[in-house]
């Protein structure tokens, strides 16, 4: 199960957009889930799950030139 639920992810993105003083703000959030199991001749020896997030924010400011 992901650590960050979709409704919470949307809340994070919306709060970043709301806090931005820029004329235009784009927020991108990516989630990656990975897992692995190691085996030897007797069976599984280790397993692990990882989840990582990447947030990117792009803003546009309109100057005197438009």
Q: 15 and 27 in contact (C-beta within 8 Å)? A: no
Give pLDDT tens digits for 31-58.
888 898 998 989 888 889 888 899 999 9
d(CA 37, CA 22): 46
Contacts 24+ apart (CB under 8 A), 7-13: 12/55
Is the model's pLDDT at 1 over the cut of 60?
no
d(CA 38, CA 36): 7
Considering the entire predicted model, what is its pTM? 0.66
d(CA 26, CA 7): 18
């Amino acid at each position: 199960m992901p650590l960050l639920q979709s409704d919470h992810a949307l809340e994070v993105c919306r709060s970043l957009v709301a806090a931005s003083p820029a004329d235009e703000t784009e927020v991108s959030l990516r989630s990656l889930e990975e897992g692995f199991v190691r085996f030897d001749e007797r069976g599984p020896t280790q397993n692990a799950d990882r989840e990582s997030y990447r947030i990117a924010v792009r803003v546009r400011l309109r100057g005197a030139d438009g």
